[in-house]
Every structure is written in C-alpha cells, then in structure tokens.
Chains A and B, each alone.
Chain A
Amino acid sequence: MPVSGLRSKLFSTIDSREPFVWFVQLLACVLLACLVWLCRSFLELFGAGGAIRQEIFLDISNDAPFSAWALIRYFHLGEHQDLILKISYAIAILSCCLAFLRPKDWRCVTLLFFAFVFIKATMMGAVYGMYEFIHIGLFYCMIWSFTTIGWVCRKGISGDRMARLVGFAFQIHLAIAYCSSGLAKGIGTQWQNGEALWRSIYRSDSAGTRLFDFSFVHNWPWLLQIGCLSVVAFEFIYPLAFYRRFRGVIVSGLIAMHLGIMIGFGLWLFGATMIILNMFFYAQARRLDAQKDADGSLWKAIGLVACNDRELVDASTA
C-alpha cells in the first residue's frame, strides 16, 4: 500500500471515533498490563511480610490521605494489610476491564481513576514517570466522562463541544509538561554534550527488560550529542504543536523518541503511555482544527463563545 494510502487510512481510523473513547480504552489496557506484570510480586513488596515494612509507609502516609496506609492508620487495620491490598488490587483490575468495555460510562471511568489513584498512592515513593502520566490522562478522561452525564448534555451543549474543551485543557497540560521538561534538561551540561543519552543507554538493566544493548554507540559521541540536543529541542518546542504546520513533525519526532525509549531503555509501559498521550494530542488537535475551520474561532470551537443551532440539535439528539 502506498504511504499516502496508509496515512489516510490511519487518519480516517483516528478521526472516525470519539478520541476520548479510545484514549480511555488504551490507558485502561496499559494499566491492566502493568497490574498483571506486577501481580506476582505486589505483596512481596508491599504486603505484611514484604520487602518494605508497613511502618515505613505509615510514617510517610501523611502526604497520601487516599491510600491503603492512610486507611490502615485511621481505622487501625494493621493486621488486615494483605487483605486491603488484595481488595484494592482486585478493584483496580476490575475497573480497568469495566472502563475498557464501557468507556463512555462516567461511573466506570471515575472508578478507574480513583482505583488507580489509590493504588498509586499506596505504592508511594516507588512510582515513576509512567504512573504520573497515566494519572494525568485519566484525570482528563474522568472530567470528560462527567460531560456525558445526561443532565449536563440537557443543558444545551453538545458532548462533542465539551470533549473539545476538556481535550484542549489536556493538550495545554501536556505542552506544559514537555516544555518545562525540555527547559530543565537544556540547562544541564549532560544534555548539551551527549553524556545524558550515553548514561541512559549504558545504565545497568537491573529490571531485565531491555532486549538490545546499544552501548556500541560509545564510538560515535557526536551521534549521542545530536540525539540529546534533538530531545531537548523537540520537548521545548512542543507548544508549537498547536499549530498545524509544525504538529506533524513535533508529534512524530516525540513518538519516535518514545519508541527509542521503549526499545533502547526497556521502559515498555512508559513508552507506550507517552505514545498514547501524543496520539491523543494529535487526534484532538485535528478535531479542534476541523471545528475551528467550521466555526471561525478557537473559542467557538471549544464552546466558550455562543453556540449555534447545529450544536443544539446535536445536544438534543445525543
């Protein structure tokens, strides 16, 4: 199939459905994969006889009021630690399945969000970037799901317009994340001379998740330096992806970077999460552009300025 045909097929698939629907489903899949992967040793790490004792978590659980440790402390449930962890784990698994099957049901999406936050807060201090970004994605999914509740739609605003508003907020959040990350990296000498990428590639694979060893790139330091500078540049200019002209290059550049992270560093779930977030950014931006072209302004497209009759008809038939 020619490239243009493949491209149009991909875009028609992306555009054919409400982006939030597949966004919820994909995030639920990644989270489910993570929970299944963690299944064998969840209790070995956090359980009553686990590697990290209950007292350590109880000491620092003041910062996480919505966690198993807070529950144990407030209700004196220390002896039921394993039971609480098993129940919260089971609820998280169940909520992933429900959200995947019923992505438009606000109760399922809200359950998924809070089940995830509970598990994340319970694993305090041991979570890394992937969990933070799933958290961000699920937050906007939950807010979107509230806009599908009947009484919100009946107020006269189509769900599609509300989805664009929430999606636009998500886009700003992701742009802030990338831009500030690029800025913070850019001031480090390691990112200026290529050392950061080299250290990331050379670091030991204690988790055993890397399939390839790329330490041979040591022979081409200039390549690593170009790689580092490209990462910093792409992240820093991410807000430009709001403009049609730059969007394709920036989003595909960052997706390529996250593919590299998946393959090179073995962070499979983190890479998958970030690719999903970027795909959603792209799909949302395309929908917003199409609506902007029809309505004539961004503020109309996201529903902040008066709607027209067509939108009300959409709402009444929703």
Chain B
Amino acid sequence: MSEVKTVWIVRSFAIYLSLHLALVGISAFRGFLISLDDAELAHYKLKEYPKKIEQYGGLFSANQGFGFFAPGVSSESRIIVMGCQRGITNWHVIDVGLRGESQHFLNAFVGMGLKGPARKAVTESISAYALSKYPDIDSVIIQYQAELIPPLREKELHAREWITLETFFYYR
C-alpha cells in the first residue's frame, strides 16, 4: 500500500472548517464596516444574517467583529448609586459591593450604550437592588457618568473629572 487517498472524513472536517472560517471572515469584515461609521456603507450593516446562521455564529463564535478599542477608546462609564436615609437630607454614595471581575461585568453592561428604556430598566433594577440591600435607605439617586479624559497634548493634568450623562431618582 504505497499511497492511500485522503479519506472522506478529513474532507468533511476541512469543508466544515472552511465554511466556518468563511463566516468568520464575513463577520470580521462587517465589524470593520461598522467601525468605519460611513453612511454610504450603512446598507451593508443593516443586512442581518438569516436567523439560523446568526444562532450558529453565536453558539460557535463565528459572528463576531474584532474592532476592540477601534476606531477609538471610549471613556470609562460608571453608575453612581446615592442613597438618603429616612428623615435625613444628606445624600451619600452607596457601595453596591461589586469588585474585580464583577465590576468589569457591570462596566461592560453600562458601557454598551444603553439608551432610553433599556437604560431606565437597568437603573430601576439597580435601585431596587440598593433599596433591598440597605433597608434604612428611603430614596435612591442613580447617575450615569462618563470620565472626562484630558487630551494627550494638554500641558498639565488636572484632577480626574466625571460628567453626569443622566440622573434617575427612585423612592420606596
């Protein structure tokens, strides 16, 4: 037996992987178009994959764009939760107790561009969490903030600044 033909199973794997990589390549290109933010290319962005392909891509990680930190690095976003005790008018910042990897998660969730009803729903949820965690708190203010990063060419660095994008108020 000097030479044996490649068996069908290798070809099946190769064909499957080629199709998978084709989807990866197309998705990466779509991701690049999104980072271009060009109106002329908008119609490419709007075309969605068929649902089955979308689900396949989600399950097997083939439908991602790879424009991390592109075309620019956005500011850090955060949520500030302030509570006020019954009968006391002073507001103080509440520590919701999230650290490390959990804080990465919350930042990713906050920073993913939540707007309108979605942003309101998340703040309602966090206020309910804060009110249940701190029973002595009567009302809660939640602020969406973004960090103001000084430009690189600025001569001197000042103290860190945060700008409040939106404020929500909740009470028991």
Contacts and interface: CB of A to CB of B under 8 A. Distances in A.
A208 B72 contact: no
A317 interface: no
Interface in B23-76: 24-25, 28-29, 31-32, 35-36, 54-55, 58-61, 64-73, 75-76
B104 interface: yes
B99 A208 contact: yes
A188 interface: yes
Contacts of B76: 203-204, 206
B121 interface: yes
Given A51-B98, A127-B108, A196 B73 contact: yes
Interface string A164-208: 011001001100111011011101111101111011101110111
Nearest to B152: A198
Given A185-B69, A306-B4, A307-B4, A41 B102 contact: yes
Contacts of B59: 66, 117
Given A50-B129, A165-B10, A44 B97 contact: yes
Contact of A56 (B5, B55, B61, B121): B121
A200 B10 contact: no
Question: Chain B contact residues (Cβ within 8 angstroms of A): what range?
Answer: 35 or more
Contact of B36 (A41, A187, A196): A187
A278 to B, nearest CB: 15
Interface string A202-240: 111011110000010010010010000000000000000
A188 B3 CA distance: 53
B7 A177 contact: no
A196 B29 contact: no
B70 A125 contact: no
A309 interface: yes
Interface in A124-158: 125-129, 132, 135-136, 139, 143, 147, 152, 155-157
A181 B2 contact: no
Interface in B107-123: 107-109, 112, 118, 121-122
Interface in A24-47: 34, 37-38, 40-42, 44-45
A14 interface: no
Given A132-B64, A188-B70, A303 B6 contact: yes
Contacts of B122: 52, 56
A265 to B, nearest CB: 10
Contacts of B159: none
A136 B28 CA distance: 14
Nearest to A177: B66
B118 to A, nearest CB: 8
A191 B75 CA distance: 15
Contacts of B32: 180, 183-184
A169 B125 contact: no
Interface stretch (B11-19, B84-92, B164-172): B11-19
A49 interface: yes
A305 B14 CA distance: 11
8 contacts: A52-B122, A126-B106, A193-B152, A208-B99, A209-B104, A224-B152, A305-B6, A308-B2
Interface of A: 34, 37-38, 40-42, 44-45, 49-53, 55-56, 59, 63-66, 117, 121, 123, 125-129, 132, 135-136, 139, 143, 147, 152, 155-157, 161-162, 165-166, 169, 172-173, 176-178, 180-181, 183-185, 187-191, 193-196, 198-200, 202-204, 206-209, 215, 218, 221, 224, 269, 302-309, 312
